[in-house]
Amino acid sequence: MTGSRAPNTAEVLRDAGLRVTAARVALLETVRAGDHLDAEAIASGVRDRVGHISLQAVYEGLHALTAAGLLRRVEPPGSPARFEGRVGDNHHHLVCRSCGVVTDVDCAVGAAPCLTASDDHGFSVDEAEVIYWGLCPDCSTARST
């Protein structure tokens, strides 16, 4: 990599030790361009970019990209797993109880893991996951009218 240019998707995959394939490039770009997408939405976006790909191949690619630290899996209770490209920080999420929209929210306090457990039971804590539940502005407005 030269200068201050951001690495392209293929370079990001190579730097993570992953083989560069059209499907992986399309997966990573689809998730990064999306907003907390589930596997079905990601599969649709990948198909728009490269043609046919099975849902199983999408799941396998998401697993590889998540294991390599290039994607983050977010799984609010009662919701399907969603994926995002915002990695490397310990941000949290807001989830609408009505429509299911998921939105990022920065840590409430300081650097990762943002929260200190009252008793860590000997664990070396490096991440805290917080999900704030409520109604998004659209659903709040719809409910009050």
Question: Residue 114 has what pLDDT?
Answer: 65
Question: Residue 22 has what pLDDT?
Answer: 95
Q: What residue spans in the chain does CATH classification 3.30.1490.190 cover?
A: 89-144
Question: Residue 100 has what pLDDT?
Answer: 87
Q: Which CATH class is domain 9-74?
A: mainly alpha
Whether CATH 3.30.1490.190 fits 89-144? yes
> Mean pLDDT, consecutive 10-residue segments, the chain of 145 residues?
74 95 96 94 96 95 97 90 90 88 80 69 81 90 78
Question: Residue 1 has what pLDDT?
Answer: 46
Question: Residue 132 has what pLDDT?
Answer: 86
Question: Residue 3 has what pLDDT?
Answer: 58
CB 24 within 8 A of CB 13: yes
Question: Residue 113 has what pLDDT?
Answer: 59
Q: What residue spans in the chain does CATH classification 1.10.10.10 cover?
A: 9-74
Residues annotated in a binding site for Zn(2+): 96, 99, 136, 139
What Rg do the C-alpha atoms of the chain give, in angstroms? 17
Question: Residue 50 has what pLDDT?
Answer: 95
What phi and psi, each to the nearest 5 degrees, are found at residue 144?
A: -85, -5
Helices (H) and strands (E) in the chain, counts: 5, 6
Residues annotated in a binding site: 96, 99, 136, 139
Measuring CA to CA, which residue among 74, 73, 136 is closest to residue 100?
136
